[in-house]
Amino acid sequence: MPKENCQKIKLLKLMEILRQETDEQHPLRASAICARLVEQGITCDRRTLSRDIALLNEQGFEVMWAMLGHEKGYYVEDRSFSVPELKILIDAVQAASFVTEKKTEELIGKIAALGGSHQAEILTGNQVSFNTRKHSNESIYYTVDRLEQALVRQKKVIFRYYDLDANGQKAYRRDGHHYVVEPVGLVFNEDNYYLMTYSSRHGNTANYRVDRMDSVEIIDEPICEQAVILRESVAGYTEQAFKMYGGQPEQITIRFANHLIGAVYDRFGENTRMIPLGETECAATVKVQLSPTFWGWLFQFGGALRILSPDSAIEQYREKVAQLAE
C-alpha cells in the first residue's frame, strides 16, 4: 500500500489495535503501539501518537491511559458488547441445533473476537455444555439469507423439502417435486428454525424446518394480502403452537397440582393467570393447538394435570387415552 494511503488510515488502524489488544487490565505501551503501526507501514512516534489519541478522544472514542513505569499505556474500555452479553450470544449459538458444528465453531470465534484478544480466550475457554444434537445442513446460512430477502421483498419462494431416512440420507417429500409458498415469518422454536407460510389456495398456514429445506430460490411473484396481514401476528401464532404441529387454536381450562405451576408458566408464559383451587391445585385458561405434541405434553403429567373445559377437548382427551390403551 502506498505510504500516503497508509497514513490516511492511521486512526482506523490505531483504533483496531486498541480494540483488539487492550482493555483496563491490559493497557498497551505507547512504544508498542507505535511499533505495531510501523509494522503495517504507518509512520508513528510517541509525539504524533499522543496527538492522534487526543483527536480520537475529541471525537468521543474514549481512549484511556495509565502509567506503565515511565511510559504511558493506552486502552479502551467502551465496547459494543460487554463480556456477559458476548457470553449469552455464544451460549445461544451453542444451544441452537440448526447451527452445524462447523458453523458453531466459526461463529463462536467471531463473537469472542468482539471482546478483544484478552477476553476471547476466556469466552472460548469457559463454555457451557448443552445437550444439543447439531444438524448437518451446511447451507443453512444461505437458506436463511434468501428467506430474509423474500420476507423483506414480500415475494414467494420455491424449494425442495426432505426428511432423513434410516441411513441419515435425504429423503425428499413429493418425490423431490418443489414447494412454492408465501413466506410469513421466520420462527425460532424448540432449538430449531422454521419458516411460517400461508397458502392462499387452502386458506391456512404451514411450517417448514429451515434446515430441511433445499435449493431455496426467490420467485418474482408477490405474496397475497392475507399473508402480509399474518406477518403482524407471527408472535401470537408461535405462542399457540407446539413444535409447529398443526391443529385448531382453542381456549381450554386446565386443572393441575401446585407443583406443576412452573411447568405451566414455562409452556404458556409468565403472564398466565393462575386461579387457586383449594390449597393444592390451580386452574388456568390457555390457548393451545390440540395437536399430537400438545397431548404428549399433557400426558407426561398423568393425573396431576387434566382438562376442565370445553367438553369437546375433554372428549378428544378420552379418545386419545382409549387409543393408547389399545
pLDDT at 244: 46
How confident is the model over 75-131, as pLDDT tens digits? 887 666 667 777 777 777 777 777 788 888 888 888 777 766 555 555 555 555 555
Q: Note whether 148 and 213 are same-domain residues.
A: yes
pLDDT at 270: 80
**Average confidence score pLDDT of the chain:** 82
**Domain enclosing residue 25, as ranges:** 3-76
Q: With contact defined as beta carbons under 8 Å apart, do 189 and 203 qualify? A: no
Task: Let me know if residue 244 belongs to a domain.
Answer: no
Domain count, the chain: 4
Task: Let me know if residue 257 belongs to a domain.
Answer: yes
Q: Note whether 58 and 115 are same-domain residues.
A: no
Q: In which residue are the cell numbers 469466552 written?
A: 123
Task: Let me know if residue 283 belongs to a domain.
Answer: yes
